[in-house]
Amino acid sequence: MTIFADEAIERFVLDSRQAGPAPGVDELRQGSRDRAHLRPKGPDMPAHDTVVAGVAVRVFDQQSTSRIVYLHGGGFVLGDLDTHDALCRRLAAATGTTVVSVAYRLAPEHPYPAAIDDAVAVLDWAGALGPVAVGGDSAGAFVGLLASRRTAASLTAQLLLCPLVDITFDQPSAEELGTGFTLDMPTQRQWVSWWAGEASAVPNPLLFDLEGMPPALVVAAQLDPLRDGAERYAKRLEAAGVPVVFRVEPGLVHNFSTMTHLSPAAAAADARFLTDAAAILR
């Protein structure tokens, strides 16, 4: 029997199982933006859009010499500066650190390695200005992990929320939770094929030499198909001597940070992520 964190999460999952066929990419992207506009905006602060090294970014200014370069999720296909605006505001406010949200190029129009190139360009820019951490959720975490291998910046932390770390999805949780728990694995595999062609053509963070990586915060959700990959990555970091805070939030689903206004359990888990992010950056 599946035990959900609260009634709001249960309703969300059950409603998702009634959804019809997925629309086209343009409609999916617009739907993602529309849902974002229905959420609370997040803490008020100076924010502006600009272009860094040819990449569109949104800067949430905390007048800090340190920065977090944040890569949004969306399966390499969805997501933009607006869909993750509220989360980036919360992260900036909680940590007192300037957050630079990156509008990296998306598939299918821009396959691998375009997103990685964009993330590297912004990390290199930020790293030249001061201390920089990399953050991301879902596919954005994967982009951040690959970019971390190429950047010239000396990173201070990894802040990973429901991260995708294995695009082969060769994990028990992907099989167990791959349909009916909001993140549909057949769709995700299709999107990965748009982005990477064959998953084997892209480096796998679970096979990296992780010695010397910066301290990491890795937060997964119990009912997320990506859960086991996140746990394996955290354990490999620990084995490499990297300080890690790892947690699996019980009864929650992928992308729970978008449900903080609906679910008390999601709001509490989001607050824990933000508190731990602030601690790891001190």
SS3 readout for the chain? CCCCCCHHHHHHHHHHCCCCCCCCHHHHHHHHHHHHHHCCCCCCCCEEEEEECCEEEEEECCCCCCEEEEECCCCCCCCCCCCCHHHHHHHHHHHCCEEEEECCCCCCCCCCCHHHHHHHHHHHHHHCCCCEEEEEEEHHHHHHHHHHHHCCCCEEEEEEEEECCCCCCCCHHHHHCCCCCCCCHHHHHHHHHHHHCCHHHCCCHHHCCCCCCCCEEEEEECCCCCHHHHHHHHHHHHHCCCCEEEEEECCCCCCHHHHCCCCHHHHHHHHHHHHHHHHHHC
Domain membership flag for residue 276? yes
Query: In the structure encoding, which two tokens stand for residue 263, read together?
Result: 């679910």
Catalytic residue among 137, 224, 228, 270: 224
Determine whether 193 is an active site residue. Answer: no
Q: How far apart are CA 9 and CA 107, in angstroms?
A: 29
Catalytic residue among 6, 84, 254, 263: 254
* pLDDT tens track, the chain, 282 positions: 789 999 999 999 999 999 877 789 999 999 999 999 999 999 999 999 999 999 999 999 999 999 999 999 999 999 999 999 999 999 999 999 999 999 999 999 999 999 999 999 999 999 999 999 999 999 999 999 999 999 999 999 999 999 999 999 999 999 999 999 999 999 999 999 999 998 899 999 999 999 999 999 999 999 999 999 999 999 999 999 999 999 999 999 999 999 999 999 999 999 999 999 999 999
pLDDT at residue 215, rounded to an integer: 98
Residue 86 domain boundaries: 7-281
Q: Is 46 exposed, middle or buried (0-12, 13-18, 19+ CB in 10 A)?
A: exposed
Determine whether 254 is an active site residue. Answer: yes
Domain membership flag for residue 1? no
At position 194, the amino acid (one-letter code) is W
pLDDT at residue 193, rounded to an integer: 97
Q: How far apart are CA 227 and CA 229, in angstroms?
A: 6
CATH of the domain at 21: 3.40.50.1820
Domains in the chain: how many in total? 1
Backbone angles phi, psi at 42, to 5 degrees: 100, 175
Domain membership flag for residue 237? yes
Domain membership flag for residue 229? yes
Backbone angles phi, psi at 221, to 5 degrees: -115, 140
pLDDT at residue 22, rounded to an integer: 76
Catalytic residue among 32, 138, 257, 263: 138
Contact 103, 57 (CB under 8 A): yes
Domain membership flag for residue 2? no
Determine whether 224 is an active site residue. Answer: yes
